[in-house]
Amino acid sequence: MKPTFDLRRRWKATTAVCIVSTMVIATAGYAASNVGVSSWDLRSHSSTLPTNSELPTNSTVQNKLNAAQDKIGQDLANLMNKGGNGNGSNPADGVKTASPIKHVIILIGENRGLDHTFGVYKPKGKGQTISNLLSKGIVNEDGTPGPNFAQAQQYSVAGQPSYYIGAPAIAKSPYTASNVMPQPNTEGTAATQSDTGAPFKSVAEASVEKDMDKNSLDILTTGATNLPANSLDIRVPGAGHLTGPFLMQGPQLSDDDYTGDTTHRFYTDWQQDDCSVANANKKTNSSGCMTDLFPFVMATYSSGNNSLGNSMGFYNAEQEQAPVLKQLADRFTLSDNFHQSFHGGTAANHVMLGSGDAIFWSDGKGNPATPPANQIANPNPVSGTVNRYTVDGNFSACADVFQPGVKPIVDYLENLPYAAEPNCQPNHYYMLNNVNPGFLPNGAPSGAGNLPPSPLRTIGDALIEKNITWAYYGGAYNDAVALSNAAVAANPATPDLTAAALADPAHALGVAYCQICNPFQYATSIMADKTVRTAHVKDTADLITAIQNNTLPAVSFGKPDGLLDGHPQSSKVDLFEAYTLNVLSALDANPQLKAETAVFVTWDEAGGYWDSGFIQSLDFFGDGPRIPMLILSPYSTGGKVYHNYGDQVSLLKFVERNWNLKPLTNRSRDNFPNPTFAKNNDYVPTNSPALADLFDAFDFSHAVTQPYTE
């Protein structure tokens, strides 16, 4: 059954992002014989059919059951004759797994937090609980301030002589009517429709996008702000007088509207979380992160940032916002303790998803090197300013505590009530913020200034070594390859995809392919070998074809293009819902494949949005705030809420356990144990640092077949 959902039932609309220009900016800125076998495999299973001695004596019933047994036996024989593959000739189905899951699809949206998306959500499963704005009484069900609104109190901080991550209590002042909190801002969100980007002026123009149901293309034409850029977003009820979290819903605002972005950089994210050992409590908050400096940091770290108070906005799932995501949560499993793995933005979090580690600047041959001076971070405040960073750079050598910004984080980690280590190697400058990979989508060198080709080991390498199929499917990848070919032909030293797009409108959507979202595009082992690259890096269209043709790899990563990824300002929540439905519709049309597939729907990071949840500090790089994760499979149904602590590396741990793989390296986060926790607190691990492998989110003894949506 193909899921249907009216993505056009919305209030209003607002924003434009030129495919050839704005999307380029958004993309660039952005143990024994049973080893590997789970307890599910080791349990005895009763036959689903009675034995002959148990059959009733009625000959008619006897004959029907015998016929049924014969039919099942023949079906099994047919499958065996096809090499043991559950879906014809797909080799993924013949590989031994630790669960009934033979295929994993990981779909990754952009920049949405857990409270931001599911802050007002009530679980549908019997006896299920959730940790969110509503359950804590921070807001009421209608989104208005609740009895515990003060738990979300945000602060400003008096100027300090150097960078800090735990603000001195004496320097903090609560935002009040007189100490006004920075307010929501339109930032760079486009005011009107456009001929060249979303929101388009017509469905015909929007039809350049192929990775969603064509009957819903009109949501690519709606959502413009009708407001000036970088101005107070008066569509938000109460804008100008807000004192804390605010509902992004009103007569002029819905989840079908484009809204201003909120910046999310490495050092800003650490500072916003306001983590201090003095505030640590082993039982409820072992990391001591207070998450109470979000608007302040946005208003002070840079003279050019206008996101201001956007970080405090949230949607109301109980009032028809993000309805597809809500319905998936109602019918399957939602995690309320899943986190971005890296403080900051898109590139570093995707790299962590692919490798379980941070990536460093090298000489292109695997040896650490020093990046250009203007890319090295110095978050110490400029003299005479409250908190304006000296250099908001992209790299730090975090093994050296004399590097600007490093010591406060290292001192904090080394004094936590659990054994957290920075995990920084000497003379390594680690990438903290968005830097393009050293390869173009076609495998050619991308030019100076980008991260040199990296030796970082990825999950792709581990899967290849075990002959386990996998692929990364990027939206608009095929167009990006075409643009790359043209750009290299025009100027091999400094290929320019934007110029290539202007010269080739037929492939202009290729600039919306997210290069920094593909962790494998940084890796020499994947990109430098054409055979490997073409086998494992593909387009979203290839994902749909693989589902339809029963050629889906064992492990698939799906990333929409910049129009559909749900990124604030350049995309919308309902567009990521449309992308997700496109994939789920294909699976619903192939029930046999769907029955052995787990789909994880998650996001790269919270996008700078404030969240009320616990954060476990693991190392110098993260974790950061909570992000949503939906777990869709026949073994994760019922509207459950999963509380065990995880981040994106948990997805690697699931793959590794299911396919009997070892941790990627001796320093990658997939070495962390599964969490243990106290009886009355499922959220805070008692054996930190620890990350779940997600197996306990499934009931592999009980499958429920149902459509993804009603």
Contact 228, 222 (CB under 8 A): no
Only one residue has tokens 């921070």, namely 138
CA distances to 53, 386, 515, 541, 652 from 561, rounded to whole Å, are 59, 38, 10, 12, 23
| Residue 385 maps to a domain | yes
| Residue 49 maps to a domain | no
List, in sequence order, every residue forming a beta bridge with 602; answer none if it has no partner.
108, 629
- The two structure tokens encoding residue 439: 């390869």
How many Cα atoms are found within 13 Å in the side-chain-facing hemisphere of 290? 20
| Residue 320 maps to a domain | yes
| Residue 561 maps to a domain | yes
Q: What angle do CA 149, 152, 154 make, to 5 degrees?
A: 125
Q: How far apart are CA 170 and CA 565, in angstroms?
A: 41
| Residue 705 maps to a domain | no
pLDDT at 89: 66
- Strands (E) across 613-680 are located at 629-632, 640-642, 646-647
| Residue 477 maps to a domain | yes
Q: How far apart are CA 656 and CA 461, in angstroms?
A: 12
For residue 665, the Cα-to-chain-centroid distance in whole angstroms is 23
| Residue 484 maps to a domain | yes
List, in sequence order, every residue forming a beta bridge with 172; answer none if it has no partner.
157
Q: Please name which of 257, 217, 317, 316 lies closest in space to residue 11, comparing C-alpha atoms.
A: 257
Q: Which helix (H) or strand (E) holds 359?
A: none
pLDDT at 94: 87
> Block means of pLDDT (10 residues each) for the chain, length 710 residues?
42 33 37 30 29 37 43 38 45 91 98 98 97 98 98 98 97 96 95 94 96 96 96 97 97 97 96 96 92 97 92 97 98 98 96 98 96 97 97 98 98 96 97 98 95 96 98 98 97 95 96 98 97 98 98 98 97 98 98 97 97 98 97 98 98 98 98 94 95 98 93
β-strand 155-157 against 172-174: which pairing, if any?
A: antiparallel
What Rg do the C-alpha atoms of the chain give, in angstroms? 25
Q: Please name which of 550, 545, 531, 525 lies closest in space to residue 460, comparing C-alpha atoms.
A: 525
Residues 6 or more apart whose CB falls under 8 angstroms from that of 109 comprise: 560, 565, 566, 576, 580, 601, 602, 603, 604
Q: Please name which of 702, 700, 580, 610 lies closest in space to residue 184, comparing C-alpha atoms.
A: 610
Only one residue has tokens 């029955």, namely 595
Q: Which helix (H) or strand (E) holds 129?
A: none
β-strand 640-642 against 333-335: which pairing, if any?
A: parallel
3-state secondary structure of 119: coil
User: At 237, which CATH number?
Assistant: 3.40.720.10
Q: How many residues does this entry show for the chain?
A: 710
Burial of 48 (0-12, 13-18, 19+ CB in 10 A): exposed
Contact 379, 432 (CB under 8 A): no
Domain range for 442 is: 17-29+102-697
β-strand 597-603 against 103-109: which pairing, if any?
A: parallel
- The two structure tokens encoding residue 411: 């001192």
- The two structure tokens encoding residue 321: 């916002």
- The two structure tokens encoding residue 447: 């030019």
| Residue 226 maps to a domain | yes
Residues 6 or more apart whose CB falls under 8 angstroms from that of 432 comprise: 265, 266, 267, 343, 344, 348, 377, 393, 394, 395, 396
pLDDT at 77: 35
Only one residue has tokens 């616990």, namely 614
Q: How far apart are CA 269 and CA 428, in angstroms?
A: 21
For residue 365, the Cα-to-chain-centroid distance in whole angstroms is 30
How many structural domains comprise the chain? 1
